[in-house]
Amino acid sequence: MNEPFHYRNGELYAETVPVARIAKAVGTPFYLYSAADLRARYRSLAEAFAPAAPMICYAVKANSNQAVLRLFANLDAGADVVSEGELRRALAAGVPPQRIIFSGVGKTRAELAAALDAGIHQINVESVPELRGLSELAAARGQTARIAIRINPDIDAKTHSGITTGRKQDKFGVAHGEVLAAYRLATQLPGVEPVGLAVHIGSQIVDVAPSRAAFTRVAELVRAVRGDGMAVHHVDLGGGLTVPYGDEKPATPVQYAAMVREIFGSLDVGLAFEPGRFLVAAAGVLLARVLYVKDGERRIVVVDAAMNDLVRPAMYKAEHGIRPVREPVRGAVSTPADVVGPVCETTDTFTRDRDLPPLAEDDLVAFMTAGAYGAVMSSTYNTRLLVPEVMVDGDRFAVIRARPSYDDILKLDMVPDWLAEPKGPA
């Protein structure tokens, strides 16, 4: 895959468009996505599994902008959703309901009803109480829900504890030792049709060993369920493939596909995957402008982006590459710097003691690998405006989510009549 963000003639480009030109048109801060990179990453994954043609359901939670969803839908992608809102987004963006999988540990009755009404491909059930509740709901409506039982395989993905989902102490899935009984119950309940098993042990998995261990347990359960006289047609292997944020060397799609074929090749099951971060992270950057440089005991670079725009460094201690939009001159000396935002929190810090080239007020900088869990997790903390999103495609770009106005934010609040200021003299 070609690098979507690169220097040309001394300045940073997104595909064939100068990033500074987009910043002048949109204002900072803003998110910028490369359509070419999104397409290339999806195709690299699909081609790695050819000719098996598994169902690739993009994990909407990674980046839920409808332009991103439409781009993937145009490539025949499905969607993995975890809320009614994400379900509605996927449908509005043109994802066929037959290619939508609904995951999540706390689906409400209203959300399950919405999934039934939409006629989606599959609901991944994560507990016996959920299974019974879905059965009751579907049967009362005269409908049948296709389900997979999500397994908690008790496998540690060896990633950040906040994004690990497959250990026995985690809230997700049915315990490995209870899956056979849950599947048997599903075959007996009205309104549900068990069609397979599902697993997802976490995000940002660099080493394939934890995935191999989890998938091996799933394969063993497929054999056990079939040995008990029940059918297993599909296996949903979740997401997990990642991209490097630093010097990590994660598995390639080809290596990942080879491992999957080795484990499931003889089982005659349809496969589904739920990639998110792998597809969108490296295709996106957050552009910000330097407000001030405080030179004292420490060099502190204050930018106009903040933790409410990109929360990963504050939440996960994540580190994003930082590139000046104007390429540093040859021989420029990098020195340690803290890069911080304007929010009144010490945690509003993107990095500490990072070796960076000289930066001055009004310089533009790009926070790299920010296409996943960036804009989608942003907020209006400190009554800051949500960051706009922009997509570049070749030599053209478009705003795909506009920056709201302060009036838009203020109008969301409603002051009750009884708090109105009293009339007359104080």
Output the six-digit token pair for 365: 């900088």
Q: What is the DSSP letter of 212?
A: H
Measured distance CA(138)–CA(183) in Å, rounded: 17
Task: Determine if residue 282 is left, alpha or beta; phi over 0 gives left, psi from -120 to 50 gives alpha, anything else beta.
Answer: alpha
Q: Identify whether 344 is a catalytic site residue.
A: yes
Asked if 15 and 4 touch (Cβ cutoff 8 Å), the reply is yes
Annotated catalytic residue within 50, 329, 333, 344: 344
CA–CA gap between residue 320 and residue 281 (Å, rounded):
11
In DSSP notation, 78-121 reads: EEEESSHHHHHHHHHTT--GGGEEE--TT--HHHHHHHHHHT-S
For residue 230, the SS3 value is coil
What pairing do the DSSP bridges indicate for beta strands 322-324 and 364-367? antiparallel
Question: E strands of 15-63, at which residues?
Answer: 17-18, 30-34, 55-59
Nearest to 179 by CA among 209, 158, 211, 154: 154
Angle, vertex CA 373, rays to CA 370 and CA 379, nearest 5: 105
Q: Which amino acid is at 60?
A: V
Contact 170, 219 (CB under 8 A): no
Kindly state the greatest CA–CA separation across the chain.
85
Q: What does each C-alpha distance from 350 to 303, 304, 410 come to in angstroms?
A: 10, 12, 28
Active site residues: 344
